[in-house]
Structure formats: C-alpha cells, structure tokens
Chains A and B, each alone.
Chain A
Amino acid sequence: MSWFKRKMQGVSTPTKEKKETPEGLWYKCRSCKNVMTSEDHVAHSWVCDKCGFHERIGSIEYFRILFDENKFTELNRNVSSGDPLVFEDTKKYTDRLASSKKKTGLVDAVRTATGKLEGHLVVIGCMDFNFIGGSMGSVVGEKIARAIDYSIENKRPFILISKSGGARMMEAAFSLMQMAKTSAKLTLLAKAKLPFISILTDPTTGGVTASFAMLGDINIAEPGALIGFAGPRVVKETIGKDLPEGFQTSEFLLEHGFLDYIVERNDLKSNLSIMLNHFQVK
C-alpha cells in the first residue's frame, strides 16, 4: 500500500501560493447552484441565466436597472428615524438603527428618486430589505408620502418597488399608521390622475401588502416572489397543516386575481416603458 504513504515529508503550500478564487468574482445561484461570473450575473440583472432565479437586490441595483444611464436625483435622502418610543427589547432600537446604517450604508429601508426611464420622467421608490428586513417605520411612510407629493407637484408617474417584512415593530403604532398615511396620500395621486405602478418583489408581506403594495393602478410582481399578508409560518400554525406548493408566490397571486402580470427583471424596464406609454395623456 505504498501509494498511501507520503514519500516526501513536509509538503505544504505556502498561503501566498494557494489558488483561491477572489471574493465576488463568481456567483453561485442560491436556487440551482449554477455558477456564473459575477459580471454576467450583474449584466443579467442579478438573475440566474440557467434557472431564472431572481436574487434579492436593493435600491442601488434597481435604480441602476431602471434609470437611464443610472442618472437620478435622490429625494429626501437624509430623512432618518427618531426613536419616539425609546424602544428596547434585547437591544436598543437606536443601536439597531446605528448598526444597520453601518452595515448597509443606507439611511433607512426605502430610497426615493426622480429621473428618466426610457425618456419618461418618473418618481421611483425602492425598499431595501437589508435594512431591518425592509420594515416600514415613520421614515419609510414619510419618504413615500413625500415622493407622492413630489409626483403630484411635478405631474410624474409614481413607481414603487416593495420588498419588506411589514411594519417595523420598534415603532409600534407609529409604524401601523404609516399604512393609513401612505394609502391616504395615494388617493391624492389618484385624484391627480397620475399612474401608480406597484412592483412586488421577494418578499412583500404584512403591513406593506396591506397598504400601498396592493394599491397600484397596475400591480406587477417578479417571478417566484413571496407575497402575502400573514407570513407562511403563521398561516401554517393557524391551519395546522402543511401549505400547498406554490402558496403565496407571485404565480399564486396572479392566479387568484391580485396581480396584473408577472415580469422578469430583465424585461422590467422595457415593460414599464410600454405601460407608461399607455398611461400618457395625449
């Protein structure tokens, strides 16, 4: 069994000679494990070229996908959370906010901006799931409300990309009332006869589903997104049975009549442009 024995002693590869792949050069699909270069993945709008899995992305990526030449003016960039309830569970809310800001480089869970989408002047809001689960507190409500005001003042269509676990518990009833606030503001947009396009992405649940996300003149979703009011775990506990396959996915919602259509991220921009053309007042 001599081939089992190491003939040469002390064989080792020094660390600097080890051939490790540099971080970020490759992307491995979370769904089908397909490996592609990160460059291709980005060029593919962060969608797997083999199985079509839509990776979760944030406002930076969506703005890059949607705004012409990635040029836009951000609105109310520095609006940030207070701590009205001096909330503390296992951690202080202010500490949670600080660490989220540090980790993500964001100010809160939504960014709003205005710019051109294939030439159409629009206002786009996009939620960031990385920031405390994309939860809606006072800042999210306020920035969406101000973005709607801006849309009305400047007669621009409003597009909102939802990606959120729901209301932010650490702002309790303040968070709850953001549902009423954003919905009430949308009535003003409707009165001004300006289109509101709601894009639901993975995941959109709770108070966000039960307010603006479901109130689009057009409700669009990305394929395979989790969309619901109660989370799947809660529903499962309530009925005491396993959930049917595909429950609360985009396809499920389309089937039950709550979405106008599903669009792949690669087609999102051109699709929105067609839709905006339809809405244009001649």
Chain B
Amino acid sequence: MATFLDFESPIADLNEQLEKALEIKAKGKVDVSEMIKDIEEKISETQKEIYSNLNPWQRVQVSRHPERPYTMSYLKNMTTDFVELHGDRNVNDDKAMIGGFAKIDGHSIMFIGQQKGENTKMRQYRNFGMANPEGYRKALRLMKLAEKFNKPIVTLIDTPGAYPGLEAEERGQGEAIARNLFEMAQLKVPVICIVIGEGASGGALGIGVGDRILMLENSWYSVISPENCSAILWRNWEHKEQAASALKLTAENMLENKLIDGIIKEPVGGAHSNREEMFENVKKAILSNLKELISMDAEKRIEERIEKFSKMGVVED
C-alpha cells in the first residue's frame, strides 16, 4: 500500500478507483480494461500537474517521504562491489553514518552518507539519520583512506541534523563537524556531495564540502528545518510552511543563490515513485561530474573548491 502525502489526495483517490477496477478485473466477469487504462492515464496526468507545481513545504514533505530511497538503497542499486566499512577507530560504529568502497562503471569510489531506517525498528537503530561525533569522525577516516589510495569521494546527504544528545556534546559534536569542514577543504581527491533528502544544517554540511555540490530536485538544504525555524522566530510550529518559503531551501532556490552547483532531476511523483530512474539519474550525474574533476590537477581542484566557498554570501562594502 503506497503512502500518499496530503497534497497528493487526488492521486490517492484515483489510486483507490484503480484498485477497485483491478479487483473487478481479477474476478473476470466484466471487461474493465478500458476503464483501467483511463484511470492510469488520469493518475499520470494528475501526478504531472501536481509535481510541476510543488511549493517549498511540499518539497520538504517529498524529501521526507517514508518510501524515499536512502543512502544504502543507492549503494545497493547504483553500484557494484560495495564493501561497507565500519567504525571511527576510537569510540564506536555510528549506525547513522555509513560508508565504504563501491564501483560505478569501473571507477572505485568511496561513498559516505547518513542512513535513515526504513521501518520503526530500523529508524531507531539508525538514530533517524542523526549522526553522533563518531559518525563524522568515521566519515573523515574513510575520506582520508580514499585520499591515500587516490580514489574519488561521493557523499550522500540525508539528515534532519547532527544528533543533539548529551554524549554527543561530551564527545565534541562541534569539533567533529568543524574538523570535517577543515579537512574536506584540502582533500586531494575529487569530492562530489549530493543532497538526496534532507540537508539540515551543520549535520549535513559536516560531509558537504566538495568540488561539486548537487541536490535532488525535491530535496532541501538549509541552516535549520522549517519547523525549528518557525519555533524560534514565531514561537510555534504553525508557521512551518511560511518558514519553508522564507528559508529559500529548495534546490532551485539554492542554485539561484549560487550555493550549489547543480540539480539532479527526479522522476514525476518524486524519487520514490520510480526508484530505478532515480538511481540512473544520480549515477549519470556522478559520472559526468567525475569525468570533469578527474581531468583536473589536484592543487587546482583544491584552489577552486576553496574559492567557490569563499565567494558564498552577500555583503555590501
């Protein structure tokens, strides 16, 4: 049974009709094939219409869709020879941050990303994709490993934020993220960062400094989630839709503001509605960007990476 978001209710209604028609068809007494074709066409039309016109809050909802593919799905479906690597060699293995080598088109690449769980039990196991300091330190360890063997790095960002727990503070959440920003700026290998779902604040940026920053069409990236922004500025959660618009957090907004380098198209209906197509689009984006980056000199790449981030911001002199 598919999950529909509130603004998808026309699609949900049509889907119900379709299911009924399929039931009738299964009984085999009445010929309903014309009707089924009609409904299917209508569904695809309605979907196109709704998805061509999403507002920022609706995109945030799509980015959090429970059926949306997470980091591990990309690794399992988009790459071959994936070997997961564990642990920060210090405290423990953070389940909210995963990583390891995998191949795309013959290239060995280090993949790193936050991982959310696919059901209630797994969501807890993955700490809802909120990494502790160990997660960021594990990510850094893997990046250094990739650098040592001259392999490019791809990070897949999908987090509601770094975990704000007591032990996270004790073990230096701030320091762990800061260290990653510092080290990633100087990595000698190509780094591609892709926001595949939620890109919330320092928790996202902690694996988000690279040569190419890309966003999926229905992902979001900002300094705070719309709910928390509403809670702080309006003192309640009721203004989350307004906050989502004000934060200019969509891929389109981010590209306009020159804070990212590109957008990866999602299938109509969002990444979850056609996973295969989504994996293919991400894979193509990785390969085309990698081709450009590999041909560059490492020093030049680092210089341009720092230069790009240095230009971000709007000030009046």
Residues of the B chain whose Cβ atoms lie less than 8 Å from the Cβ of A35: none
Q: How far is the CA of A202 from the CA of B43 in the complex (A)?
A: 57
- Chain B interface size, as a band, is 35 or more
Is B233 positioned at the interface, with any CB of A under 8 Å from its CB?
A: yes
Residues of the A chain whose Cβ atoms lie less than 8 Å from the Cβ of B197: none
The reply to whether A229 and B173 contact each other, CB–CB distance below 8 Å, is yes
The reply to whether B202 and A248 contact each other, CB–CB distance below 8 Å, is no
Q: How far is the CB of A250 from chain B (nearest CB, A)?
A: 13
The reply to whether B312 and A181 contact each other, CB–CB distance below 8 Å, is yes
The reply to whether A214 and B168 contact each other, CB–CB distance below 8 Å, is no
Which one of A142, A179, A210, A212 has the greatest number of beta carbons of chain B within 10 Å? Answer: A210
Residues of the A chain whose Cβ atoms lie less than 8 Å from the Cβ of B254: 173
- Chain A interface size, as a band, is 35 or more
The reply to whether B209 and A79 contact each other, CB–CB distance below 8 Å, is no
Contact with A along B207-224 (1 / 0, CB 8 A): 011000000000001111
The reply to whether B248 and A229 contact each other, CB–CB distance below 8 Å, is no
Residues of the A chain whose Cβ atoms lie less than 8 Å from the Cβ of B309: 177, 180-181, 184
Q: How far is the CA of A188 from the CA of B185 in the complex (A)?
A: 10
Q: How far is the CA of A53 from the CA of B162 in the complex (A)?
A: 32
Is A90 positioned at the interface, with any CB of B under 8 Å from its CB?
A: yes
Q: How far is the CA of A247 from the CA of B254 in the complex (A)?
A: 37
- For the A-B complex, the count of residue pairs with Cβ-Cβ distances under 8 Å equals 191
Q: How far is the CA of A138 from the CA of B309 in the complex (A)?
A: 12
Task: Mark the stretch among B5-13, B151-159, B175-183 that contacts chain A.
Answer: B175-183
Which one of A139, A175, A230, A247 has the greatest number of beta carbons of chain B within 10 Å? Answer: A230
The reply to whether B182 and A186 contact each other, CB–CB distance below 8 Å, is yes
Is B314 positioned at the interface, with any CB of A under 8 Å from its CB?
A: yes
Task: Mark the stretch among A19-27, A112-120, A151-159, A233-241 that contacts chain B.
Answer: A233-241
Q: How far is the CB of B165 from chain A (nearest CB, A)?
A: 5
Partner of A230, one of B169, B234, B243: B169
The reply to whether B175 and A172 contact each other, CB–CB distance below 8 Å, is no
Q: How far is the CA of A211 from the CA of B162 in the complex (A)?
A: 14
Residues of the A chain whose Cβ atoms lie less than 8 Å from the Cβ of B257: 84-85, 173-174
Residues of the B chain whose Cβ atoms lie less than 8 Å from the Cβ of A243: 166
Is A256 positioned at the interface, with any CB of B under 8 Å from its CB?
A: yes
The reply to whether B168 and A176 contact each other, CB–CB distance below 8 Å, is no
Is B201 positioned at the interface, with any CB of A under 8 Å from its CB?
A: yes
The reply to whether A174 and B259 contact each other, CB–CB distance below 8 Å, is yes
The reply to whether B233 and A185 contact each other, CB–CB distance below 8 Å, is no
Q: How far is the CB of B97 from chain A (nearest CB, A)?
A: 16
Known contacts A238-B165, A256-B172: A210-B315 contact under CB 8 Å: no
Residues of the A chain whose Cβ atoms lie less than 8 Å from the Cβ of B175: 209, 214, 258
The reply to whether B173 and A230 contact each other, CB–CB distance below 8 Å, is yes
Q: How far is the CA of A142 from the CA of B314 in the complex (A)?
A: 9
Q: How far is the CB of B178 from chain A (nearest CB, A)?
A: 4
The reply to whether B170 and A256 contact each other, CB–CB distance below 8 Å, is yes
Known contacts A173-B249, A180-B205: A82-B310 contact under CB 8 Å: no
Q: How far is the CA of A217 from the CA of B296 in the complex (A)?
A: 31
The reply to whether B313 and A181 contact each other, CB–CB distance below 8 Å, is yes
Q: 9 tightest A-B contacts by CB?
A: A230-B164, A138-B313, A209-B174, A183-B181, A184-B185, A229-B174, A89-B233, A84-B314, A229-B173
Q: Which residues of B does A touch, CB under 8 Å?
A: 162-166, 168-175, 177-179, 181-182, 185-186, 201-202, 205-206, 208-209, 221-224, 229, 232-234, 239, 243, 246-249, 254, 257, 259, 305-306, 309-310, 312-317
20 contacts between A and B (CB under 8 A): A81-B314, A82-B315, A84-B314, A139-B313, A169-B232, A171-B313, A172-B222, A172-B247, A173-B223, A174-B314, A180-B208, A181-B313, A185-B306, A207-B223, A209-B178, A228-B169, A229-B162, A238-B164, A239-B165, A257-B172
